[in-house]
Structure 1
Amino acid sequence: MIKQQKEAALAVALMDLTSLNSNDDSAAINTLVNSINPKLGTPAAVCVYSDFVAEAKIALATRELSHIKVATVTNFPTGDAPLNTVINETLIAIERGADEIDLVIPYKALIAGDKSRVLEYVTESKKVCGSRALLKVIIESGELQTPDLIASATLLAIKGGADFVKTSTGKVAVNATLDATKTILNTIKESGKLVGFKAAGGVKTVADASDYLTLASTIMGNDYLQANTFRFGASSLLTNVYAVLNEA
């Protein structure tokens, strides 16, 4: 039980508490922020659509939780938008106060063999983010499927300047998996670059989170398990985490 509670406390500290639903509105974002119980731990970030970035910032500030970052998504979820649209999305999001940008790569182009298009999206997005926002690159590993494509996408993200490599949008049939995570983390390690990792989609319980934490610790070391290098993207994980912590 003590081990589970330690993992729960760590999981909440590494969480991007997420709401990316088609019916999101101001009330939904306030509900999301109000679900945070500081006595049981606070997430690293909340992740919302760009339209709600400013509202999330205000809601967090109102609850004296301004230390929590606000993330948003670009080229989401299909990865099909033209580059100029993606860059405009990024600029607007940063103007609204986004601290972190989660960019979906044009993964279908990579599947078709076009690595240069993927690299261009990451590189140009990184230029816009600069020092103003972290760039977390979503490779959509479940659609890439093969270890070779997952490793290739990870390397392109790293080459383009990604601060994090993220598994998934959570909007496809297969999202985060331990196999994909192993490939991504080993690729990051072999690159020699200090790049973070984010598991998104399907991590719903402390038991789920534990498997990812164990794998990351085994490959990257315990020091990697901090918010500047490891995240969970989750919507329902917080409920389970708090339930475990409430048992203390």
Structure 2
Amino acid sequence: MSDLKAAAARALACLDLTNLNEDCTEEDVRALCARAQTPHGPTGAICIWPQFVSLAKPLLAGTGIRIATVVNFPSGMEDADTVIGMTETAVADGADEIDMVIPWPKLIEGHPQEAAAMVRRVRKSADGAEVKAILETGMLADPGLIRSAAEQAIEGGAHFIKTSTGKVPVNATLTSARIMLEAIRDSGEEVGFKPAGGVKSTQDAADYLALCDEIMGEGWATPATFRIGASGVLDALLATLDGADEPQTGEGY
């Protein structure tokens, strides 16, 4: 249990506590901000829809919890000028991090360079906010396409590469995580990694931390370089830290 507790503590500090439900309300966001301030310390960030950023900003002031939001989400195929406008508005509202979906269908069609171009534009418009590029690995599926997507996102200047939106049938997997971490390692760039969707138990979180330790070296995975995108795993992490049984996991992000 001590090893699992240590993993739970690491994971909690790296958690992007998420509500990207279609029916999310202001009350839900207030509750999310409160949940992120746990008895075992704050989560790394919350991840919410753009329209709620200005609401969350004062609620998290002084907590150290960052605010992430999403653009070009979840399709990856919105008009570029619209995505840039959303990015600029989100940053003006107080977003610290922009989780953007790359135009992954273009990779499948044989136009990978469009992913780098979109990341480059979003990073420029983010005005210092960190950019996490979502590859949608479950839809790319092919290891070669996942590797290409990771390389294009890194070339475009992404601060993090992220597996998934959580809105498709297959989200984060250890297989796709390995491909992405190896791309980061081989690039020589300082780029972080975020698995998202499907991380539901403390053991799930521990498995991703162990993979980071294996590929990137022990101590690499900190909130500055590693995040977990999840809504349900917080209860599991807190239960582990309290020495209690984990709750039954459900479906969702």
Q: TM-score range by the shorter chain?
A: over 0.9
Determine which of 114, 126, 146 is the counterpart of 1:129.
126
Determine which of 129, 148, 153 is the counterpart of 1:152.
148
Determine which of 88, 96, 100 is the counterpart of 2:97.
100
Shift of 1:84: 0.5
String of CA shifts for 1:143-199, please: whole Å, max 9, x gaps: 000110000000000100000000000000100000000000011111111110000
Determine which of 215, 226, 230 is the counterpart of 1:219.
215
What's the counterpart of residue 57 of structure 1? 57
Structure 1 unpaired stretches of 5+: none
What's the counterpart of residue 43 of structure 1? 43
What's the counterpart of residue 189 of structure 2? 193
In 1, the alpha carbon distance for the partners of 2:54 and 2:112 equals: 34
SS class of match (2:95): coil
In 2, the alpha carbon distance for the partners of 1:210 and 1:79 equals: 29
Q: Flag as ranges the 4+ runs of structure 1 deviating above 6 A.
A: none
SS class of match (2:133): strand
Is 1:10 aligned to 2:10, yes or no? yes
TM-score, L = length of structure 1: 0.96
SS class of match (1:222): coil
* Partner amino acid, structure 2, of 1:77: P
What's the counterpart of residue 24 of structure 2? 24
Aligned residues: 244
Tell me: CA distance 1:122–1:36, structure 2 relative to 1, closer, same or farther (3 Å): closer
2:153–2:161 Cα contact (<8 Å) kept: yes
In 2, the alpha carbon distance for the partners of 1:246 and 1:60 equals: 24
SS class of match (1:223): coil
Shift of 1:79: 0.6
SS class of match (2:169): coil
What's the counterpart of residue 69 of structure 2? 72
Please list, as runs of the form range in 1=range in 2, the aligned pairs for 1:204-215 lying within 5 A after superposition: 204-215=200-211
In 2, the alpha carbon distance for the partners of 1:208 and 1:115 equals: 31
In 1, the alpha carbon distance for the partners of 2:36 and 2:152 equals: 35
In 1, the alpha carbon distance for the partners of 2:35 and 2:124 equals: 34
Q: Which moved more, 1:206-215 or 1:111-120?
A: 111-120
Structure 2 unpaired stretches of 5+: 245-253
In 2, the alpha carbon distance for the partners of 1:38 and 1:201 equals: 21
Shift of 1:37: 4.2
What's the counterpart of residue 172 of structure 1? 168
Tell me: CA distance 1:86–1:37, structure 2 relative to 1, closer, same or farther (3 Å): closer
2:37–2:43 Cα contact (<8 Å) kept: no
In 2, the alpha carbon distance for the partners of 1:203 and 1:138 equals: 16
What's the counterpart of residue 249 of structure 2? none
In 1, the alpha carbon distance for the partners of 2:200 and 2:51 equals: 26
Shift of 1:38: 3.5
* Partner amino acid, structure 2, of 1:144: L
In 2, the alpha carbon distance for the partners of 1:3 and 1:135 equals: 32
In 2, the alpha carbon distance for the partners of 1:49 and 1:125 equals: 17
* Partner amino acid, structure 2, of 1:240: A
Is 1:232 aligned to 2:232, yes or no? no
SS class of match (1:230): coil
Is 1:246 aligned to 2:242, yes or no? yes
SS class of match (1:224): coil
What's the counterpart of residue 116 of structure 1? 113
